Chains A and B, each alone.
Chain A
Amino acid sequence: MAAYLRPSALPDALEALASRATGGRGWVVVAGATDHYPARVGRVPDEDVLDVSALGGLRGIIGGATGTAESGWRIGALTTWSDLADADDLPPLFAGLRRAARTIGGLQVQNRATLAGNLCNASPAADGVPNLLALDAAVELASASGVRRVPLGEFIVGNRRTVRRPEELVTGILVPPPLADTTVRSAFEKLGSRAYLVISIAMVAAILEVDREGRIARARLAVGACSEVAERLTALETELRGRRPAEAPAIPRSDHLATLSPIDDVRGSAAYRQDAALVLVRRALEALAG
């Protein structure tokens, strides 16, 4: 009989993970289970499940409007997409991420799926990743022997591959504060073939931090579903620095997206994705230009 554990305290979960860290059967970690079951349609695999959904203290967003913005925000690993979408008190920095929150599956999924699960599942089309990349988010990983923080760009290393070790659990996502003395705007553009319940053909997250002179102090953009792991557009970001937001939409060129490596699939051709990503980048910047 396969095992099932649903601890309510983090140390118990970490101890369980540690006990299986080497050799033999590992734990399959489940929280909202919205990626778990779809991978098991018509199958009942013999596997051991660590259900982390009851762990205390891992749900919710700390920081932001409550006055700790200097130190950034901590999104607990059990925070759902609906929690995020409903968090009206979050600053404009999160507008793109919150928009993405309402495009992930249907409400049925948004009400259950966690942001951390979206990262751990590491789909190239994960809607949370471009935004969190643009936010320079870090992933907090806890194990019985301690806690480490890994920048999201280093956490996901391939299609459905992360650097999470078997004994580790993602406990939170850390979002650093924006640059001081800037006005922040963020946007998210998602392209799909239908209105709801749609997997992205391509998507773009963009954040602009604008200084008191009205110039872009920092631009952060990321493209998803156009490479194995979503990518930041660093060349474009550099070029946007110092420009005014109103000028920004005219700046992106195809060579800014040259590092992408989209694939052909049922949702769209590679050439189309490459082409569309540039359009989405421009539109995201247009949305932030005003």
Chain B
Amino acid sequence: MSGAPVPIAFRLNGRAVAVTSAPMRRLSELLRDDLGLTGTKVGCDAGDCGACTVRLDGRQVAACLVPAGQLEGTSVETVEGLARPDGGPSALQAAFLDHGAAQCGICTPGMLMAASDLLATAAEADDATIRDGLGGVLCRCTGYRAIVEAVAAVRDGSGPTPGAAASGKVVGARVRKVDGLPRVLGAARFGADEVPLDALAVRAIRSPHPRARFTIGDLEPLRTRHPGLVRVLTAADVPGENRYGIYETGKDQPALADGEVRYRGEAVAALVGEPAAIAAIDDVEVPIEWSPLPPLTTIDDAVAPAAPRLHAEAPGNVLVRGRLAMGNPDEAIRTSAVTAAVEIETTALEHAYIEPEAGWARRVPGHSGDRLELAVSTQSPYMDRDEVARILGIRPDQVRIIPTACGGGFGGKLDLGVHPLIALAAWHTGRPVRATWTRPESMAASTKRHPARIRISGGATADGRLTGVRTHGEFDTGAHASWGPTVANRVPVHATGPYEWQAVLATTAAIHTNNPPSGAFRGFGVPQAAIAHEALIDELAERLGADPLELRLRNALRAGSVTASGQVLRASAGLPACLEALRPRWRRLRDEAAAHRAGDERRRRGVGIAAMWYGIGNTALPNPSTIEIGVSRDGRVTLFSGAVDIGQGASTVVAQIAADALGLPLERVEIVSGDTARTADAGKSSASRQTFVSGNAARLAAADLRRQILQLGEVGPDVEIEPAPGRLLLREPGGRAAVIELGELPVVPVTDATADVVLAGRGFFDPETTELDADGQGVPYQTYAFGAQVAAVEVDLELGTTMVRTIVAAHDVGRAINPQGVEGQIHGGIAQGLGMALMEAYVPGRTENLHDYLIPTVGDMPEIECILIEDPDPAGPYGAKGVGEPALIPTAPAILAAIRDATGVRITTLPASPDRVRAAIVAASR
């Protein structure tokens, strides 16, 4: 750090402060580490994401780019200074709550500060000016629509919109997120926020090579040179099994590599010590001798006969194959009136959550062995617990995972992140240990969306019935198994789209390479597959001269359909309703595009459509959730939910469901979320399952509690329950009242041993599925989400740039527990689908930052119309299914179809970047 600490006096949130700081310390570090104001978030340390936006002398700046030495005499405002004097949310903060502008909340402080600058300097801002004002802050959750609406509402002085829903009526209401307030106040604690002051830091030393052997030399000189370095961890320091992974058969990822690395970014050693001392050590000081080996960088490399085997258990580098077969597709295709074939290729994609992986761990002495507590940003606390225990060689009950607020996951935080190294470091040193990955480290080390190469061919009858389809998808699963098996098994079910086919053969293979491990990313391979099957449907429509929407509608799966796996869809298959709702918009947008086409030679408009389906929860595997709800002796009602809220709204949804099932207003239900010592296992926040699976568990838990209360109070089913200090008041419609004195009841056990609970309901739900046979036949999921989107684009024919003008999204969600949350998921899914279609591409070693890896900004988002189709699922809580992943799946294929409509070219290698689109246009015109 440059320069001796100097005294600096400035104003912070209206108050004079005097600090002593190294002058080149970043303002973000000064605020967070020295002044304890962790509302300012750090997403990149490079001015690329805007999460750290504060106001410096009134103007928005990135706190990560401001030297402390320049603060003398200035005035700094942070999110902590926005609230009203009484601590309540300001009008702007309230608007963010009311409009659902904060999902995970990690970009929220930066957005609020950018917006407050904007509103102060341009009170009459039009929407374009609002976008300009917010353009420097990235959000990966919301698709920005709600944020712009919230800011516009403050500009217009419009007051809060939603009202409180009546008792028993909160399902279906647009309620504020139950965990929203701390997010807009800057008070929510994310992985890097709540760290003990005396914590050591751990920093991984990572491989610069995609494939290499290595030896680590004598570490003693390094320790001598750096007194603050407490310990250097290597593979030899792993007391348990030095391997982890999602599946029992896929535990192939080392906590610290042991002599061989399989991807660039794999950790080989870890420095543990005082944060400043660790930061000052240059990677090259660590004595590691590398022997690089030729890497397998493509699927073709990996399946070549002479290719080295990257894992002993994966012959031919094939991790797993998937298969679904029904009928004789070759015969069906051969006898079809029209046939078509498409091959597509997608690239690795980065989740780009704005919160990099972060957390801390501490070792806690215990009677039956020491315990280890980890506070981490995660989507999967229970799996984390078991994996950490395996690595440390201790019992799972000796590990406690306390999820912090999660600043975006999208599947990327379903794998272990900082956990192994903070766990090892805390276990060995006995001191609290923290880690926060830098943005480049996060991008290099974390999992990616599987790059895929998919070919598909199929046919249709002359009158537009789909016949046979064959598809094969190869997925680059990278260096380690991670969620590769999930992708390989989920894709065959979905690979032929939400349609009735007469005969199907869908196969997949997940292939190991020396690329980053491909893991879970919103849709588990289905978004890639949808690009292929939707292109096929469009090709068939072209050959038939059929309207693409009508062809889809004609063949859509619907109630009564039998899927290719032999499952009868008994209810809640609302794709026809989605397509019918889209039809008038589809026609209008097509007419508009055609009219525009006549006028502009340089820019062409086009419209595309795509449909999807998505099985909720694990594929043909158990997928249970257990949720508890209790009344404590003092009359408080607490929902103990292990369903981690990663911004998607799980806490709000389960609380709404529980409130209605119990018969209490939402605000009377407190929530404890996802702490493995306090909540039962509600599985992972993955596979769009929390509303359906954990929602059901919450409903059953609350119903169980209500039944007990009714029994105890000897009252009828229509009773109104009113919790009061120390008692429950029960009022029956006829005026009869009863009281349950809680103080007289014995404490009943729940997972949270510290809870003073005297009445407890417990709900368990596991979707009804069957195993699949060798042909993939069976019931892989209990229910499916359906949806379709129409995209209207404008392509600059000379430059190849694509602007998405409009997306209309119709999704069958069964029942929208919180319509605002559902729309937020759709907006956010569309943003990610748009990025996938047009701009995102992860290249190891090349795009490990947020200015080379591009995600959509506020200015890239189209106008969006959401149409919620509510075709209730009898098995869903109040009819609900899921929407998290479904929202993303149709977006990219709809955009690509629109580009095809506009230009006549079909982009089959993603992303449809300007140079690719332009090259395709040039090639087609030759």
Contact = CB atoms under 8 A, between A and B. Distances in A.
A50 B801 CA distance: 42
A4 B857 contact: no
Contacts of A54: 70
A70 B388 CA distance: 73
Nearest to B278: A44
Contact of B53 (A41, A108, A195, A276): A108
Nearest to A86: B121
A279 B798 contact: yes
Nearest to B436: A42
A39 to B, nearest CB: 9
B879 to A, nearest CB: 38
Given A6-B69, A194-B854, A199-B851, A44 B136 contact: no
B280 interface: yes
A114 interface: no
A109 B132 contact: no
Nearest to A47: B2
Interface string A243-264: 0000000000000000000000
Contacts of A196: 131, 135-136, 857-859
A266 B23 contact: no
A143 interface: no
Interface stretch (B393-401, B448-456, B914-922): B914-922
Interface string B830-866: 0000000011010100110101101011111000000
Contacts of A199: 851-852
A87 to B, nearest CB: 15
A109 B441 contact: no
B3 interface: yes
Contacts of B199: none
B23 to A, nearest CB: 4
Contact of B135 (A33, A106, A279, A280): A106
Contacts of A195: 131, 135, 857-860
Interface stretch (A89-97, A162-170, A175-183, A267-275): A267-275
Contacts, number: 180
Interface stretch (B57-65, B678-686, B894-902): B57-65
Contacts of B22: 4
Indicate the member of A6, A82, A196, A276 with the most B CB atoms within 10 Å: A196
A268 B701 CA distance: 55
A198 B6 CA distance: 36
A267 B644 CA distance: 37
A5 B645 CA distance: 47
Interface string B242-283: 000000000000000000000000000000000010011010
Contacts of B48: 38, 197
B24 interface: yes
Interface stretch (B39-47, B87-95, B209-217): B39-47
Given A2-B1, A33-B67, A199-B851, A193 B47 contact: no
B147 to A, nearest CB: 14
Contacts of B859: 194-196
B364 interface: no
A108 B47 contact: yes
A41 B46 contact: yes
Given A30-B67, A37-B64, A6 B23 contact: yes
B4 interface: yes
For chain B, the bracket of interface size reads: 35 or more
A107 interface: yes
A109 to B, nearest CB: 5
A110 to B, nearest CB: 8
Nearest to A199: B851
A2 B23 CA distance: 11
A4 B23 contact: yes
Interface in A1-43: 1-4, 6, 28, 30, 32-34, 36-38, 41-43
Given A37-B26, A51-B67, A266-B841, A106 B50 contact: yes
Contacts of A161: none
A196 B128 CA distance: 12
B65 A191 contact: no
Contacts of B288: none
A104 B137 CA distance: 14
A79 interface: no
Given A33-B67, A109-B136, A194 B856 contact: yes
A54 B847 CA distance: 35
Contact of A3 (B2, B136, B276, B852): B2
B266 to A, nearest CB: 17
B460 interface: no
A49 interface: yes
A43 B133 CA distance: 31
A41 B47 contact: no
Interface in A47-64: 47-49, 51, 53-54
Contacts of A1: 3-4
Given A42-B440, A191-B914, A196-B859, A111 B279 contact: no
Contacts of B135: 106-107, 195-197
A201 B255 CA distance: 39
Interface in B612-627: none
A105 interface: yes
Contacts of B441: 42
A266 B24 CA distance: 32
A145 to B, nearest CB: 27
A196 B47 CA distance: 13
A197 B136 contact: yes
B706 interface: no
A220 interface: no
B355 to A, nearest CB: 16
B913 interface: yes
A53 B24 CA distance: 13
A82 B799 contact: no
Interface string B12-27: 0000000000111010
B798 A191 contact: no
B740 interface: no
A99 interface: no
Indicate the member of B6, B56, B799 with the most A CB atoms within 10 Å: B799
A112 interface: yes
A102 interface: yes
Given A49-B3, A51-B70, A194 B799 contact: no
B61 A269 contact: no
A46 B226 CA distance: 14
Interface in B888-917: 913-915
B438 interface: yes
B914 A201 contact: yes
Nearest to A264: B915
Given A107-B133, A108-B61, A269 B4 contact: no
A266 B117 CA distance: 34
Contacts of A194: 839, 854, 856-857, 859-860
B2 A106 contact: no
B325 interface: no
Nearest to A103: B135
B800 interface: yes
Given A33-B66, A49-B3, A198-B854, 10 more contacts: A2-B2, A36-B65, A54-B70, A105-B47, A107-B135, A191-B799, A199-B852, A266-B852, A269-B915, A276-B799
27 contacts: A3-B2, A3-B3, A4-B22, A30-B67, A33-B66, A33-B67, A42-B45, A42-B279, A44-B279, A49-B23, A106-B62, A107-B133, A108-B136, A111-B60, A191-B799, A193-B839, A195-B135, A195-B860, A196-B131, A196-B858, A197-B857, A198-B854, A201-B914, A267-B852, A276-B800, A276-B914, A276-B918
Interface of A: 1-4, 6, 28, 30, 32-34, 36-38, 41-44, 46-49, 51, 53-54, 82, 102, 105-109, 111-112, 191, 193-199, 201, 266-269, 271-272, 275-276, 279-280
Task: Identify the 10 closest CB pairs spanning chains A and B, nearest first.
Answer: A106-B136, A4-B3, A195-B859, A196-B135, A272-B915, A38-B46, A42-B438, A108-B62, A196-B857, A268-B915
